[in-house]
A and B are shown apart, each in its own frame.
Chain A
Amino acid sequence: MAKTSASGRPSRLFRNLNAKIAAIPMILTACVVFVGFSAWTILHSFTKSRLLPKLDFVGTAQYERLWASDKWLISIQNLVLFGICMLVFSFVIGFLLACLLDQKIRFEGMFRTILLYPFALSFVVTGVIWQWILNPDFGVQSIIRGMGWESFTFDPLNNGRIVMFGVVIAALWQGTGFVMVLLLAGLRGIDDEIWKASRVDGIPAWKTYLLVIVPMLRPVFVTTLVIVTAGIVKVYDLVVAQTGGGPGISSEVPAKYVYDQMFLNQNLGQGFAASTMMLLTVAIIIIPWAYLEFGGRKRG
Chain B
Amino acid sequence: MMHQSVSVTDSSLSIRGLQLSFGAVQVLHDVSMEIGRGEFIVLLGGSGSGKSTILNCIAGLLDVSDGQIFINGRNVTWEEPKDRGIGMVFQSYALYPQMTVRGNLAFGLKNAKLPKDEIARRIDRAARILQIEDYLDRKPGALSGGQRQRVAIGRALVRDVDLFLFDEPLSNLDAKLRAELRVEIKRLHEKLGNTMVYVTHDQIEAMTLASRIALLRHGVIQQFDTPDEIYRRPVNLYVAGFIGSPSMNFLKGRIEGEDFVFNSHRIPLAGYDGRPRDGEAILGVRPEHTGFRTGTDGVTAKVELQEHMGAESVIHLSLDGQRFALRTPDDTHIPEGTTLSLTFDISRASLFDPQSELRL
Contact = CB atoms under 8 A, between A and B. Distances in A.
B78 A9 contact: yes
A8 interface: yes
Interface string A257-300: 00000000000000000000000000000000000000000111
Nearest to B75: A8
Given A8-B68, A15-B63, A298 B78 contact: no
A1 B81 CA distance: 11
B99 to A, nearest CB: 22
Contacts, number: 20
A129 B170 CA distance: 61
A10 interface: yes
A298 B20 CA distance: 13
Of B22, B78, B80, most buried by chain A (CB within 10 Å of CB) is B78
Given A15-B63, A300-B27, A10 B78 contact: yes
Interface in A8-56: 8-10, 15
Given A8-B68, A15-B63, A300 B22 contact: yes
A284 B68 CA distance: 45
B22 A298 contact: yes
B78 A2 contact: yes
Contacts of A15: 63
A299 B22 CA distance: 8
Interface residues of A, number: 10
Contacts of A9: 77-78
A300 B27 CA distance: 9
B23 interface: yes
Interface string B75-94: 10111100000000000000
B111 to A, nearest CB: 14
A149 B78 CA distance: 82
Contacts of B80: 1-2
A251 B84 CA distance: 66
Contacts of A298: 22-23
Nearest to B76: A4
Contact of B78 (A4, A299, A300): A4
B115 to A, nearest CB: 25
Contacts of B77: 8-9
Interface string B6-25: 00000000000000001101
Contact of B79 (A4, A299, A300): A4
Contacts of B68: 8
Contacts of B78: 2, 4, 8-10
Contacts of B27: 300
Given A1-B80, A2-B80, 18 more contacts: A2-B78, A2-B79, A4-B78, A4-B79, A8-B68, A8-B75, A8-B77, A8-B78, A9-B77, A9-B78, A10-B78, A15-B63, A298-B22, A298-B23, A299-B22, A300-B22, A300-B25, A300-B27
Interface of B: 22-23, 25, 27, 63, 68, 75, 77-80
20 contacts: A1-B80, A2-B78, A2-B79, A2-B80, A4-B78, A4-B79, A8-B68, A8-B75, A8-B77, A8-B78, A9-B77, A9-B78, A10-B78, A15-B63, A298-B22, A298-B23, A299-B22, A300-B22, A300-B25, A300-B27
Q: Which 6 A-B pairs have the closest CB atoms?
A: A298-B22, A4-B78, A2-B78, A10-B78, A8-B77, A298-B23
